[in-house]
Amino acid sequence: MSGLDTLFERLSRRAAARTTRRAFLARMGQAAVLVAGGPALATLLVERAEARVCGQSGVAPKCPTFDCTYADSVWGWCWYASPGCCAGGGLKKICDCCTLNWPFVHGYCPSGFNVRCIVESCLNDPRVMDKPIVRVLGEDAAAVALARSRTRASSRAVVLGDLDDPRIGAVAGPVATHLGAPLLLTSRTRLSPAVVAEIRRLGATRVYAVGAVPESHLEDLEGVTGEHVGGTSLAVARWLIDRTGRNRAVCIARSGVSASAAAAAAAVAGQLGMPLVIGVDSAKELAATVTWMVGPEAAAHAGELSGGFPIRGATRAEIALALATAAVGPLGVKNVFVRLSPEAEPDVAVGLCGEGGVLLYHPPGALGGGNYAWIREHGAALRGAMAGGTTGALGDGGVYDVQSALHLFDTHLLIGQPGQGLPVISQPHHEREVGRARVKGAPPKDPDSDKAYWSSRARS
């Protein structure tokens, strides 16, 4: 444990020894059901007791997400509700997010810190999140791709994709994934100054112009070696197959629902080392050993190709889920980010398709039930989520749902009504070491064991 953690631990133990709003009520709750503070107490608090549910012995606003990342803020300790506060008797966690000198009750916070908000969850503990959610802001696909690239310290190579046509732009995604290079999007008529600046910032020495991006754009770049990769999706596919030695491909139709799912198809294609081709005619000419025919317009022709494999769906959101399921399920794709693109205009999905993984489309501002269920079911294969866009992007509520699905924070199992106070279990002292938290179940028989119910914050 670091010196800072040790200091935090010492201060926290001292704070917990005092009779706080929780310590006082906890002692009462050992003998009987806790009775929450009445109207006189409520008038002294910032918010009403909407966040005080089964097992909560005090009043505090609910945090908008499972994070405690405000300025000058740290996690306090958690309290554990008695069995019955989660469906099936699962253990419920009630954790304080503490902010320095915050004008609120003290709770289980270090000296000088007070409760800012609380996080409540069933089964897993919010303090041990090990799967990040990255927000990539941008009003259009080019801005999202640029924002993602700016998270890189450097890159020897850069891939230029077509901004004018999302289908052709998506063709560059598997190329960028194969090269391990950032995907930047630019128009055909003019090389974007922002793209030029980013290439210089990255210190790239090689730039690949893919598909409809004109070779003349490469001539506008000084000090780099340029390569133009095919003028059509078929030519790009042959280039990539020659480099990988994998005679497989993903195909979308030239129009319709299939074409609208180009970015989702490109993300999975890149993850599997496959090129993306546009048009059933191109797929037939390529004659790959296996060809995923994506969407109704392409899937209808799967039987016309040797090795044609249909990916069906009535909407691009359904197609994206079908692609993700096929990749993560039978093919066993693991350790990837799920990329989340809003179903809103302008479409930003192509800006997210240059690193492989799986890409899902969500309703404006919300994760959506189908996506929640998919992430929850396949969370073991995911190492995090990346949410793109500005218009229709995930708000706090959507991020809350993604965190819940990724980490099995079973908030849908919470029971109890606002204002109800039931017996709670104070977090035992031997569980209060900074960086340790109980994930589920009863306390381990051996308090010093790292093999029972502990999870380290060092994973996050």
Which of 271, 300, 274, 278 minimizes the C-alpha distance to 289? Answer: 274
Same domain assignment for residues 290 and 422: no
Same domain assignment for residues 274 and 359: yes
Q: How far is Cα 323 from Cα 440, in angstroms, rounded to an integer?
A: 33
**Quick count: other Cβ atoms within 10 Å of Cβ 58?**
28
Which strand (E) or helix (H) includes residue 455? strand 454-456
Same domain assignment for residues 15 and 59: yes
Which of 279, 277, 160 minimizes the C-alpha distance to 229? Answer: 160
Q: What is the dihedral of CA 24, 30, 33, 36, to 10 degrees?
A: 10
Task: Decide: 248 and 238 in contact? Cβ < 8 Å.
Answer: no
* Residue for token pair 């404006």: 364
Query: Which pLDDT score, from 0 to 100, does residue 36 have?
Result: 28
Q: Which structure tokens are listed for 244?
A: 């990988």
Task: Decide: 81 and 55 in contact? Cβ < 8 Å.
Answer: yes
Least trusted range by pLDDT, from 38-47, 172-181, 225-234: 38-47
pLDDT tens for 95-135 read 889 999 999 988 888 899 999 999 988 877 788 788 999 99
Q: Are strands 424-425 and 73-81 parallel, antiparallel or unpaired?
A: antiparallel
Choose one of 407, 423, 440: the last residue of a domain: 407
pLDDT tens for 383-397 read 999 999 999 999 999
Give residue 105's region: left, alpha or beta (phi > 0; psi -120 to 50): beta
Query: Which pLDDT score, from 0 to 100, does residue 113 have?
Result: 94
Q: How far is Cα 122 from Cα 143, in angstroms, rounded to an integer?
A: 38
Same domain assignment for residues 384 and 260: yes
Which strand (E) or helix (H) includes residue 99? strand 92-100
Same domain assignment for residues 113 and 151: no
Same domain assignment for residues 149 and 290: yes
Same domain assignment for residues 158 and 302: yes
Task: Decide: 145 and 163 in contact? Cβ < 8 Å.
Answer: no
Residue 238 has pLDDT above 60, yes or no: yes
pLDDT tens for 267-320 read 999 999 999 999 999 999 999 999 999 999 999 999 999 999 999 999 999 999
Number of domains in the chain: 2
Q: How far is Cα 210 from Cα 165, in angstroms, rounded to an integer?
A: 12
Same domain assignment for residues 173 and 217: yes
Which strand (E) or helix (H) includes residue 250? strand 248-252
Who's near 140: CB < 8 A, 6+ residues apart? 346, 348, 351
| 197 CB-contact burial (10 Å; exposed 0-12 / middle 13-18 / buried 19+) | exposed
Comparing 172 with 433, the larger pLDDT belongs to: 172
Radius of gyration (C-alpha) of the chain in whole angstroms: 26
Query: Which pLDDT score, from 0 to 100, does residue 43 have?
Result: 31
Query: Which pLDDT score, from 0 to 100, does residue 140 have?
Result: 97
pLDDT band at 204 (very low <50, low <70, confident <90, very high): very high
Q: Write the DSSP symbol of residue 63.
A: P
Q: Are strands 382-388 and 133-136 parallel, antiparallel or unpaired?
A: parallel
pTM of the model: 0.82
Same domain assignment for residues 252 and 349: yes
Which strand (E) or helix (H) includes residue 100? strand 92-100
Residue 455 has pLDDT above 90, yes or no: no
| Domain around 238 | 133-407
Which of 333, 412, 438, 398 minimizes the C-alpha distance to 133? Answer: 398
Query: Which pLDDT score, from 0 to 100, does residue 213 have?
Result: 97
pLDDT tens for 207-219 read 999 999 999 999 9
pLDDT band at 431 (very low <50, low <70, confident <90, very high): low
pLDDT band at 53 (very low <50, low <70, confident <90, very high): low
pLDDT band at 438 (very low <50, low <70, confident <90, very high): low
Residue 45 has pLDDT above 90, yes or no: no
Same domain assignment for residues 445 and 396: no
Choose one of 407, 434, 450: the last residue of a domain: 407
Choose one of 365, 380, 407: the last residue of a domain: 407
Provide the greatest CA pair distance for the chain. 80
Q: What are the start-end ranges of the H helices in 210-290?
A: 216-219, 233-244, 256-260, 262-271, 280-286
Over range 376-386, report the average pLDDT. 95
Residue 167 has pLDDT above 60, yes or no: yes
Q: Write the DSSP symbol of residue 449.
A: -
Same domain assignment for residues 169 and 79: no
pLDDT tens for 247-266 read 999 999 999 999 999 999 99
Same domain assignment for residues 423 and 397: no
